[in-house]
Structure 1
Amino acid sequence: MTSTLSTVMVVGAAFTAALAVAGLAYVLIMPWPVRVPMQRRRPGVAPKPHPLHRAFIAVTNLAERRIRDRSTPAGSQLLELAGIKLRPEQFMLRILIAAGVAGLVGVIFGNIFIGLLLMLTVLLVHRLFIGLRVSKRQHHFADQLEDSLLLIASSLRAGHSLPQALASLAEEAESPTAEEFTRVVNETRVGRDLGEALETTAERMDSEDFTWVTQAIEINREVGGNLAEVLDGVAGTIRQRNEVRRQVATLSAEGRLSAVILMVLPFGVGGFLLLTNPSYLAPFVESPIGYMLLVISALLLVVGGLWLRKTVEVKF
């Protein structure tokens, strides 16, 4: 009797397992049923959004209006210079949400001090992120400048005028050169002087080489001459400067890497100790002396970072 019951239980378990496997295979293999969109079933009637979705949209719009009232044109220009395709209020709303989430995580897994520290870190990191995006974009523009001048010179030799050559460059170049010269072309089409538009671009990109190009174009427009040959000469000078710049970057790479390691090392060691042995770092947040030591450490870290930056920065 017992053996018969055991056999029945084994068969039942095997049958149940086979049925589960078959059901899983059916779910994974068989296609999902096609749902006809609401627009096709009832033309002209859009599906109503979920109440939670409507509430989220309302809160987001309210926050964007409040931030938009306090935003400045400089913030919009900075985001545009960094190549971030968001409005200032949208970007700030995302930063505030990220800061709130970071603070909540810090309070849950630590204390209020850690939560405030994480919120401040998020607010500071976003400025660093924008600065890095701007610097990277300006660096790409400088690297593409030589090819841009050669393309302009080729268009001029083909019989095109300077505005036509700039328009051709805006269509064929890569980002960010295409975006910046598209701005120049659009500004000249609405009546702005070409020299002023080019000077503004040189200031936006913080490019000394492009400032020389602008001056060369202005001189050529005043006195005349073969602009294509002038641009070829400027492109050759920029090529030589880029070679020297790359050589300097190669020679200073070790120093810059050492600076990055020395700046990141305290945060890495502190984070590791915070996860493995929180009691070891507890005295820093339990007494006024500990807070004072943290502030002094942060100041020394900032001074050391600025010192290392000046040490490995070579200007020529």
Structure 2
Amino acid sequence: MPVWLYLVILGACTILGFSVFQIVSALQDSEREALRNRLAALGRSSTTDGPESYLRGGRPSHAPWLKLILFRKSWNDTLWWMLRQANLDISLGSFVLVSVLLALLGGGAARLLGWGIILQVVLFIAFLLVPIGWVRIKIRKRLTLFEEQLPEALDLIGRSLKAGHTFTSGMTLVSQEFADPIREEFRLTIEEINFGGHINDALDSLAERVPSPDVVFFVAAVKIQSETGGKLTEIMDSISYLIRERAKLKGKVAALSAEGRYSGLVMFLLPPVMMGVIKFLNPKYMAVLFDTTAGNYILYASGTMLAIGILVIQRMVNIRV
């Protein structure tokens, strides 16, 4: 049987397995169970720490098979918070299942292609981490958009304060006038306050959901002002100015470090691309690397040094502002 047919069958089995899991999960999720979970979440104390509070997002209870796979409760919480920060409407169990199926697909493809055990393990781990990398990209994009919206939102809160409105009214205006993601996050903060939560706890939840230094500045300034007093309008204007200046500095740093970042990208892509081109043009010339044990070790060592080099370059050009 051809190799491509094995790959097609493996991919079809992966899709079929995920579909069966989704159907079984939907059948088990009855309305009575959903209502019971809802009432249990509403009955929790508003002072519950961590993501277990309903007002902070309501961490779902995990299936026993998921706990057996992840082994540690902290991993469950970390993955769930990543999905929450990326604003993805997917259950934690489905996310883990997709990751495992992709890992099996990558490892099975390497096995069918006759690659060594080391490459099989590398592909298994790489495909296992692909969904996590995608979620991190979503979090980074959402966080960047939030930071771009925050100065304008603070200006709106400052103008509402000057017009005689309260601080919470200004946040309500932001949740009504702005687009996502800042609208969603401010809406959750206002809902937590309306449910009876303290404003400081609601702001702490906002800083927990949006891991940005700008949000930390905003939350800390409002909490300090509520304890010591002062003009909140001037504080909003100062924070807005600070965030804009910080964004300008980040842009300058990104422009100055662009050469290093793109040099690292070229250095990372050039060896495998050239190896693929040479193997396509003259397969016998590269056969010694793939068909001999010493050649395989050379490939493993080269790949390891290449990965270490790109990590070092990334650390050098990743300047935090």
| Fold similarity call, TM over 0.5 | yes
Amino acid at match of 1:89: G
Aligned to 1:77: 81
Deviation digits for residues 236-282 of structure 1 (CA, Å, limit 9, x no counterpart): 12212211221221222222111122222233334445555555444
Answer yes or no: is 1:90 the counterpart of 2:94.
yes
Pick the aligned partner of 2:241 from 222, 236, 241. 236
Comparing 118-127 with 302-311, which one deviates more in the overlay?
A: 118-127
Amino acid at match of 2:146: F
Report the Cα distance in structure 2 between the residues aligned to 1:289 and 1:57, rounded to whole angstroms: 43
Which structure is larger by alpha-carbon Rg, 1 or 2?
1
Q: Does the aligned pair in 1 maintain the 2:18–2:97 contact within 8 Å?
A: no
Question: % of aligned pairs identical?
Answer: 28
Aligned to 2:232: 227
Specify whether residues 134 and 276 from structure 1 end up closer, same or farther in structure 2 by C-alpha distance, changes over 3 A only.
Answer: farther
Aligned to 1:140: 145
Specify whether residues 288 and 201 from structure 1 end up closer, same or farther in structure 2 by C-alpha distance, changes over 3 A only.
Answer: farther
Specify whether residues 194 and 101 from structure 1 end up closer, same or farther in structure 2 by C-alpha distance, changes over 3 A only.
Answer: same
Specify whether residues 127 and 233 from structure 1 end up closer, same or farther in structure 2 by C-alpha distance, changes over 3 A only.
Answer: same
SS of the counterpart of 2:230? coil
Extract unaligned runs of 5+ from structure 1: 1-52
Aligned to 2:266: 261
Q: Does the aligned pair in 2 maintain the 1:63–1:93 contact within 8 Å?
A: no
Q: Does the aligned pair in 1 maintain the 2:289–2:295 contact within 8 Å?
A: yes
Deviation digits for residues 264-310 of structure 1 (CA, Å, limit 9, x no counterpart): 22333344455555554444454443343333223312321222123
Report the Cα distance in structure 1 between the residues aligned to 2:181 and 2:106, rounded to whole angstroms: 33
Deviation at 1:91, TM superposition (A): 1.9
Report the Cα distance in structure 2 between the residues aligned to 1:294 and 1:181, rounded to whole angstroms: 51
Report the Cα distance in structure 2 between the residues aligned to 1:286 and 1:253, rounded to whole angstroms: 39
Pick the aligned partner of 2:154 from 149, 155, 179. 149
Specify whether residues 272 and 171 from structure 1 end up closer, same or farther in structure 2 by C-alpha distance, changes over 3 A only.
Answer: farther
Report the Cα distance in structure 1 between the residues aligned to 2:209 and 2:199, rounded to whole angstroms: 15
Specify whether residues 134 and 277 from structure 1 end up closer, same or farther in structure 2 by C-alpha distance, changes over 3 A only.
Answer: farther
Pick the aligned partner of 2:294 from 289, 296, 303. 289
Amino acid at match of 2:82: L
Amino acid at match of 1:241: R
Deviation at 1:215, TM superposition (A): 1.8
Report the Cα distance in structure 1 between the residues aligned to 2:88 and 2:229, rounded to whole angstroms: 40
Answer yes or no: is 1:162 the counterpart of 2:172.
no
Extract unaligned runs of 5+ from structure 2: 1-14, 27-62, 71-75
Amino acid at match of 1:87: S
TM-score by length of 1: 0.71
Q: Does the aligned pair in 1 maintain the 2:157–2:174 contact within 8 Å?
A: yes
Residue correspondence of structure 1 range 61-140 to structure 2 within 5 A: 61=23, 68-70=66-68, 72-111=76-115, 113=117, 117-140=122-145
Q: Does the aligned pair in 1 maintain the 2:83–2:135 contact within 8 Å?
A: yes
CA-atom RMSD, angstroms? 3.1
Pick the aligned partner of 2:187 from 160, 182, 185. 182
Deviation at 1:235, TM superposition (A): 0.9
Amino acid at match of 2:88: I
Answer yes or no: is 1:248 the counterpart of 2:253.
yes
Report the Cα distance in structure 2 between the residues aligned to 1:166 and 1:195, rounded to whole angstroms: 14
Deviation at 1:150, TM superposition (A): 0.7
Specify whether residues 285 and 188 from structure 1 end up closer, same or farther in structure 2 by C-alpha distance, changes over 3 A only.
Answer: farther
Deviation at 1:146, TM superposition (A): 0.8
Deviation at 1:171, TM superposition (A): 2.4
Pick the aligned partner of 2:218 from 213, 222, 226. 213
Deviation digits for residues 138-187 of structure 1 (CA, Å, limit 9, x no counterpart): 22222222111111112222332212221221222222212222222222
Deviation at 1:108, TM superposition (A): 4.5
When the two structures are aligned, how many residues end up with a matched partner?
264
TM-score by length of 2: 0.70
Report the Cα distance in structure 1 between the residues aligned to 2:80 and 2:230, rounded to whole angstroms: 40
Amino acid at match of 1:183: L
Comparing 281-290 with 246-255, which one deviates more in the overlay?
A: 281-290
Report the Cα distance in structure 2 between the residues aligned to 1:307 and 1:220, rounded to whole angstroms: 42
